[in-house]
Amino acid sequence: MARAGLLIILTAGPFLVFLFLYVFGKNNFELDRYTLQIPDFLKQNEGVRQSKGAFLLMDTSDSFGNSAELNRQLKRISAFWEDAGSSPQILQIDSKTSAIAVRSTINWFEKDSVLNTVTAKGAGMKALPQPPRSFLFDKDKTLRGVYSLINSKSVDTLMLEYRILLAN
């Protein structure tokens, strides 16, 4: 009798835990979704128009004092692209000197910009990191994340979120 009770607990226990998490659990690994679409000046870029997958915009302005760390992180990202077997379309611009960025009506190239975002926890706002940084867009050309290119944790987050976009 005791063995039958133990067997029932051992088989029903994981099912009940799964059922509890399925009903009450929340997906905290959902990627942030910004309210911005890819700006018009990038829609005119031939490579961007033909891109079927993710797209990465790299703003490398203000990297003078951090060039060694930036190069180290870019090497990590390049190794990640090779390991992942695919890489997003990459456009590199300098927001301070690029005429493309000056013509843009969207002002998210400013250092202290704050963007509206929708996270797993609900609506919110996020401050942009200072350049050098990158903007990750999904296949629908919606901004999914902004990452500092001189911060190892931020680059790790970029690589993780790109893997999640690949899985979707």
Domain definitions of the chain by residue range: 27-167
Contact 119, 32 (CB under 8 A): yes
CATH code reported for the domain at 27-167: 3.40.30
The string of pLDDT tens digits covering residues 114-139 is 777 777 677 777 777 877 888 888 88
Q: Does residue 164 have a pLDDT over 60? A: yes
Q: Calculate Rg over the CA atoms of the chain.
A: 21
93: β partners: 59
- pLDDT category at 113 given cuts 50, 70, 90 is confident
Rounded CA separation 121/128 (Å) = 19
Angle value at C-alpha 155, between 151 and 161, nearest 5 degrees: 145
